[in-house]
Structure 1
Amino acid sequence: MSSSSSRSVAPCVLPRRRWLVGVSAAAVLASPVGRAWAQFRVEVTGVGLTQIPVAVALFRGSEGVQPNVPAVVRADLERSGLFRSIDPLPQALDENTRPDLAPWRDRTADALVTGSVNRLADGRYDVRFRLWDVVRAQDLGGLSFPVPAGDLRLAAHRIADYVYEKLIGAAGSFATRIAYVSKQGSRYNLWVADADGENAQSALASPEPIISPVWSPSGRELAYVSFEARKPVIYTHDIATGKRRLLANFKGSNSAPSWSPDGRQLLATLTLGGGSQIYLLDVQGGEPRRLLQSSSIDTEPVFAPDGRSMFFVSDRGGSPQIYRMDLQARNPQRVTFNGNYNISPAISPDSKTLAYIARSGGAFKLHALDLASGVSTPLTDTGADESPSFAPNGQSIIYATKHQGREALMTTSLDGRIKTRLASAPGDIREPAWGPLPR
């Protein structure tokens, strides 16, 4: 038996790569929290149409503290491709002192971040910052984050989010998390990491494949498919406690979970009737409800952000294409028309853009479809793309691919101009899923 690295296990809509799946029964091992098997190296290519020059000063008290908070803020902003980092001056600047902005203006900085990192009596750190408009000499505000030492990186991400929102006008996503699956030798791991790939921790380890991780709207749980029972079975998994719950182990295959926006239901592909069909599952249990009656293979369902419709893949037109269906009217309408093989739909948080994988000339490329105009744009120059997932602010898409012969996770802006490569050591790395904004 073999497993696709996409959400589907239906034979008609397999993507270009597969992991071979053994059928031996083995217990899944809940691994202790630990560092990832390989650290990521972040590489940014391309820039936005305009870049805002931002200086992040040395924070008072941050010397010798790891991770270095201002360095993480700089890296976050640079990784977006929308900011150009201005080298800091040698003196540290805290959030309480109004800085002399002239030297920063001379360095062509449009904005300046100052701050401090202070150790508290209880062992925590008080991280404070302030953002300055250098051109207008205006105080743009600031915040403070009392955090344990293990959350210093999170505090830095939140500072970057604040800067991003103030200067770009959209929510940042630096303080979010991603999930992905690695395969090293015969062992599979489900990892949870910061959005930049750092601080990775193993949520689950298994000798059998793990595929299709998806975040709950709260960010507290993941749903995924495990093959430990000699077939695809869907579990939900509490990230904080490691506790998991069997959600779907019906006759045949159980695959491709997708959370409803309210977190109360999941869509899934089941083979209860013999073929791959889409069902609605209640998180609390109960019998699945079949949403479509057809002889076609229907799979890879994803909820639209409003929860009233879904996108899915079907071969009802003769080849795998993506359809949209109102969950009340149940009137499937085809949305992809370019090419004869389009799979792996992911919908943007504002419901305006559909990301998907299209096969063309033997290459699998990430595309973005403007749903209003119907215009589809290829976003990559690679040919082995899979598993797109939107950032919760809708500004980027993460996906798995092969780049220069190496497995990698990459992010791209919606126009394809800015790309970030999270490159790892040799091994398979797949199935990325971007988590929600922190609540």
Structure 2
Amino acid sequence: MNFAKGLILCGAIVAASANAQLRFEISGVGSTQIPVAVASFADEAIAPAIVSNVIKADLERSGVFKVIDAGRVISETSAVDYNEWKARGARALVVGSVSKLADGRYDVRYKLLDAVNSGELSSMGQSTAARYTRLAAHKIADDIYEKLTGVRGAFATRIAYVNENRANRLYKLEVADADGEGTQVAVTSNEPIISPSWSPDGTKVAYVSFEQKKPIIYVQDLVTGGRRVVVNQKGNNSAPAWSPDGSKLAVALSRDNHTQIYVVNADGSGLRRVSNSAGIDTEPQFSSDGQYIYFTSDRSGGPQIYRMPATGGNATRVTFNGNYNTSPRVSSDGKTLAWVSLRNGDYGLYAMDLATGQELRLADNATEPSFSPNGKYIMYATEAGRRKTLAVVSVDGRVKQRLTTNAGTIREPNWGPFMK
């Protein structure tokens, strides 16, 4: 972890090889689990993805649900014996079907049935291209999650991270589905890539590249494949973070001889300094309402988390426990702060209720946290077998997931926004 790279490919995102996929290993469950039976969808074998399998994997990975395999095919038009599913302990039943349309797309339909009260809770129909059948399944899982918990699901979102192979001097900025599938390469370079940050609309990623032998901030358009330099000032240009409306980026620059926080328009114009200290101010993050910037500063002697108005002004210290606190991240509802604290020789992941100041240690051996867009999970970098990889923990610390891969060192995760 730091407090304080020539380009091969930079174009439209391209599919990575199948053996580079991330895989989840799940440990721990929520304090209470909702039992949900999931049936095989009628004719789902005709599609590129088995929709019911994707739904079951999503629900199981969340730790919120106890998934009951229905053991048979049930379409959304089938008659259902609610007493059977109630007797099997199911709170809800998921049924559906897949059919192929004349234009080559797939029609994916589903219903969520209330096994206790013998009624329908939700339904959905989607017509989707073959390559998006997994996405259709994730959207169904999101609907189930929301209808049964009252919280929006985040299965149909994406993550960005850096895949590093130092032996071959190869660095990739990759994008994948939230379950680690569907890996695509956005940027490949012979020099380091760091600090990916999703735009709020999910179409762009800001990042830092060393391809010109110094850190420069770029924005990569994932739709068109184009990119542009946003900040290339004298010295170091680092730590880009988007404002909630996507109009600005907060960045850390050393142009004035020591690193301070600046805000710049998303097109690179209007650069202005917003922090003013004799120390190092870095790692800015906008609050969920865009009114404040959280950042790391050593102005008190060691790195701690501070908050200041987004337009600049007096900063208020937020962290007081431990002598080394960095990497602030704020949940989408503005209620929780996540950060990394070095205590007893270990980088631990912590979460704080900003209203009460209460802290909770969520994970050991953790760096580079990033909230899921629904604020219920945090992805972070960790080490497994002397190799950096990614992991996920729920904000209550009960559910833990580790992502494994056979493709290099994975680090610097950033969880993307909800997609429209």
Same fold by TM-score, threshold 0.5 exceeded? Answer: yes
**Of residues 100, 109, 112 in structure 2, which corresponds to 1:128?**
109
Q: How does 1:351-370 map to 2 (within 5 A)?
A: 351-370=334-353
Alpha-carbon deviation of 1:28?
A: 4.1
Does the CA contact (< 8 Å) of 1:407 and 1:426 recur in 2?
Answer: no
1:419 aligns with 2:404: no
1:391 aligns with 2:372: yes
Does the CA contact (< 8 Å) of 2:76 and 2:109 recur in 1?
Answer: yes
- 2:286 paired residue number: 303
Superposition RMSD in Å: 1.4
- 1:137 paired residue number: 118
| CA distance in structure 1 between the partners assigned to 2:44 and 2:189 by the alignment | 40
- 2:316 paired residue number: 333
1:77 aligns with 2:59: yes
State the SS of the aligned residue for 1:278.
strand
Deviations 1:406-439 (A, max 9, x none): 4321111111110111111162110100000111
Q: How does 1:191-230 map to 2 (within 5 A)?
A: 191-230=174-213
Deviations 1:143-173 (A, max 9, x none): 1110000000000000000000000111000
- 1:30 paired residue number: 10
1:249 aligns with 2:229: no
| CA distance in structure 2 between the partners assigned to 1:413 and 1:431 by the alignment | 18
- 1:155 paired residue number: 136
| CA distance in structure 2 between the partners assigned to 1:330 and 1:156 by the alignment | 47
State the SS of the aligned residue for 2:54.
helix
Deviations 1:239-263 (A, max 9, x none): 1121101100111110000101111
State the SS of the aligned residue for 1:30.
strand
Q: Which amino acid aligns with 1:79?
A: R
Where do 5+ consecutive residues of structure 1 fail to align? 11-21
**Of residues 94, 103, 126 in structure 2, which corresponds to 1:113?**
94
Does the CA contact (< 8 Å) of 1:407 and 1:423 recur in 2?
Answer: no
- 1:40 paired residue number: 22
Where do 5+ consecutive residues of structure 2 fail to align? none
Does the CA contact (< 8 Å) of 1:342 and 1:356 recur in 2?
Answer: yes
Deviations 1:277-302 (A, max 9, x none): 11110112324101122211000000
Does the CA contact (< 8 Å) of 2:16 and 2:185 recur in 1?
Answer: yes
Does the CA contact (< 8 Å) of 2:229 and 2:268 recur in 1?
Answer: no
Q: Which amino acid aligns with 2:150?
A: G
State the SS of the aligned residue for 2:40.
coil
- 2:32 paired residue number: 50
- Indicate the percent of aligned positions where both proteins have the same amino acid: 50
Task: Calculate the TM-score normalised by the size of structure 2.
Answer: 0.96
How many residue pairs align between the two structures?
416
Please identify which structure carries the higher strand content. 2
Alpha-carbon deviation of 1:96?
A: 2.0
| CA distance in structure 2 between the partners assigned to 1:212 and 1:411 by the alignment | 18
Moved more, 170-179 or 406-415: 406-415
Q: How does 1:257-296 map to 2 (within 5 A)?
A: 257-296=240-279
| CA distance in structure 2 between the partners assigned to 1:358 and 1:234 by the alignment | 26
1:87 aligns with 2:69: yes
